[in-house]
Amino acid sequence: MNTSDNILMEVSNLKVHFNIKSDNAWPWQKGQAVKAVDGVNLTIYAGETLGVVGESGCGKSTLARALLRLVPITEGNVVWLGQDLTNLDKKQLRSKRQELQMIFQDPLASLDPRMTVGDIIAEPLNTFRPELSKDAVKAEVRKIMDRVGLLPNVINRYPHEFSGGQCQRIGIARALILKPKLVVCDEPVSALDVSIQAQVVNLLKELQAEMGLSLVFIAHDLSVVKHISDRVLVMYLGNVVELASKRALYDNPKHPYTKALLSAVPVPDPKVERGKKIQLLTGDVPSPISPPSGCVFRTRCPHANKGCAQQKPLLQVLSKEHQVACSRLAEIA
């Protein structure tokens, strides 16, 4: 049960805006702000998996990096175990890296091609636990390699000698060797074959149960998110439009955007697949440089009216496990 006693991270009004300039702009001209994340509020509990979904460009990866302060935060707070990470200097933040780790989308690109597998996995230990002897470090590396399904005899090989799935296992081993409390997984299976995706997702679930991990799992595939997540957060244009438990979201989605996403998920039963109604969205995703006023989804929403342009909707609490940001929810439900 999620209570205030097992809260790991609290995020309030988180904004990440990037300043960009055109190539032909004068040096004194101000750039435009890309609102990649624009006012996100969420809570992460101990031992849970929070899935994050949305179209490309909605701010999922930027949110992931902002949680770990890998990108500058424009506004808002990220509180980790009662301590505000946004107020820490580099030295203080570095000490928190042991508890907060990340698994990246491209398994091969996230590994240094000049380092052996053993050195890659051992690097966090060498950084945060310099008191360990070489033999102790090597023993820890072999232990985590065995746990993620890598044979010990590959410890001196280089990343280019491995498949995509094996490279992702190396990345998982590197992230978990310090025994962190929270691991942010930024689309960790999107570059893998379907069968390998299932293996990696099942591995993450097993490791979570064994180590008591909390996961933030970002993905495009809503079927994968359903399999691994306890709660799901739906993002659109840098905003949270729906946040609910897995059961509530998949069985009874409320926001029009969530309904459209779920309607596009293939169903294994041919009869059900042929008979279901796909809710197509019209128009293109607006630019994060100049998002629509009021509700950012209104330009593509089939239920939008003039009032939707007046005020940005806040997350409404429908139940303990369901929140939705829609000003017309009572009318369209």
Q: pLDDT tens digits for 147-170?
A: 999 998 999 999 999 998 999 999
**Taking CA 11 as the corner, what is the angle to CA 8 and CA 17, rounded to the nearest 5 degrees?**
140
Q: What is the mean pLDDT of residues 299-303?
A: 90
> What pLDDT does residue 100 have?
95
Confidence bin at 231 (pLDDT 50/70/90): very high
Secondary element (H or E) of residue 197 = helix 194-211
Place of tokens 């064994």: 210
> What pLDDT does residue 95 have?
87
> What pLDDT does residue 25 have?
67
**In-domain check, residue 26:** no
Lowest mean pLDDT, pick from 42-46, 176-180, 182-186, 188-192: 188-192
> What pLDDT does residue 210 have?
94
Q: When comparing pLDDT for 265 and 240, which is higher? A: 240
Same-domain status, 199 and 286: yes
The residue from 178, 200, 215 where one domain ends is: 178
Instruction: Quote the number of domains for the chain.
Output: 2
Same-domain status, 174 and 241: no
Q: Quote the CA–CA distance of 99 and 183 in Å, as a whole number.
A: 8
Same-domain status, 130 and 73: no
Q: What is the mean pLDDT of residues 220-238?
A: 93
**In-domain check, residue 104:** no
**In-domain check, residue 237:** yes
Helical packing angle, 164-176 and 134-147, nearest 10°: 130
Same-domain status, 91 and 187: yes
Kindly tell me if the per-residue pLDDT of 282 is higher than 60: yes
Kindly tell me if the per-residue pLDDT of 76 is higher than 70: yes
Same-domain status, 277 and 160: no
Same-domain status, 69 and 79: yes
Q: pLDDT averaged over the chain?
A: 90
Same-domain status, 201 and 313: yes
Distances (CA, A) of 327 to 9, 107, 136: 28, 41, 58
Q: Which domain holds residue 133?
A: 115-178
- Could you tell me which residues are beta bridge partners of residue 9? 44, 80
> What pLDDT does residue 2 have?
67
**In-domain check, residue 327:** yes
Confidence bin at 299 (pLDDT 50/70/90): very high
Distances (CA, A) of 260 to 220, 228, 231, 328: 13, 21, 19, 17
Confidence bin at 273 (pLDDT 50/70/90): low
Same-domain status, 259 and 226: yes
Same-domain status, 131 and 83: no
**In-domain check, residue 24:** no
Confidence bin at 105 (pLDDT 50/70/90): confident
The residue from 150, 178, 206 where one domain ends is: 178
Kindly tell me if the per-residue pLDDT of 331 is higher than 80: no
pLDDT in tens, 283-295: 888 888 888 999 9
**In-domain check, residue 27:** no
Confidence bin at 60 (pLDDT 50/70/90): very high
Q: Quote the CA–CA distance of 152 and 141 in Å, as a whole number.
A: 9
Kindly tell me if the per-residue pLDDT of 201 is higher than 70: yes
Same-domain status, 188 and 66: yes
The residue from 146, 178, 210 where one domain ends is: 178
Beta strands in the chain, from DSSP E residues, in sequence order: 7-20, 32-45, 49-53, 75-80, 83-84, 100-103, 182-186, 214-218, 231-236, 239-245, 316-319, 322-324
